[in-house]
């Protein structure tokens, strides 16, 4: 948690841009009942969209693994399988490196989460910038976790 938070704060400090959007002004008070109905409707659509990406990437990951691709491909695609993969490496690479690999995976978040975010923002979030920032957060998280785990677990 500390590594993820620190890495996210560092990346956000260096990638922050000033917004030039005008403030939104309401001309008449909103109908709270209509706002609630709209919010529930949009939340339902968002949940279906996110669930579709989760299912798609879970099936894609399993299919790629069954096709013989190396297990590390999960690090790129989907965080849950990737963390499970990192946990399985503890006997061969040690706990500090395995924790750092899991932290890298969670910081990167995988293409599944990146696509979910793109779907929710409907193109308002530049994909290239998102991939760069998620990659930077993953790399920083890896380094912070490895240093802390090496120091406290050795």
**Gap between the Cα atoms of 7 and 107, Å rounded:** 8
Helix (H, G, I), strand (E, B) or coil at 1: coil
Could you give the percent of the chain with pLDDT greater than 70? 92
> What is the average pLDDT value for the chain, to the nearest integer?
87
pLDDT in tens, 38-52: 888 888 888 888 899
pLDDT at 26 > cutoff 70? no
The model's pLDDT over 75-126, given as tens digits with 9 standing for 90+, comes to 899 888 888 888 999 999 999 999 999 999 999 999 999 999 998 888 788 9
Predicted pLDDT of residue 145: 95
CA geometry: angle 139, 145, 150, nearest 5 deg: 130
The share of the chain scoring above pLDDT 90, in percent, equals 47
| Half-sphere exposure (Cβ direction) of 5: Cα atoms closer than 13 Å | 2
Query: What's the pTM value of the predicted model, to 2 decimals?
Result: 0.76
């Amino acid at each position: 948690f500390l590594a993820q938070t620190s890495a996210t704060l560092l990346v956000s400090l260096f990638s922050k841009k000033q917004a030039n959007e005008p403030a939104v002004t309401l001309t008449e008070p909103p109908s709270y009942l209509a706002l609630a109905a709209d919010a529930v409707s949009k939340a339902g659509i968002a949940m279906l969209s996110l669930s579709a990406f989760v299912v798609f990437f879970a099936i894609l990951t399993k299919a790629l693994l069954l096709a013989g691709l190396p297990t590390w491909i999960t690090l790129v695609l989907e965080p849950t399988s990737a963390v499970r993969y990192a946990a399985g490496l503890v006997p061969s690479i040690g706990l500090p490196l395995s924790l750092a690999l899991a932290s890298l995976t969670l910081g990167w978040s995988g293409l599944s989460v990146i696509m979910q975010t793109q779907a929710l923002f409907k193109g308002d979030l530049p994909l290239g910038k998102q991939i760069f920032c998620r990659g930077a957060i993953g790399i920083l998280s890896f380094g912070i976790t490895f240093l802390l785990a090496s120091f406290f677990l050795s």
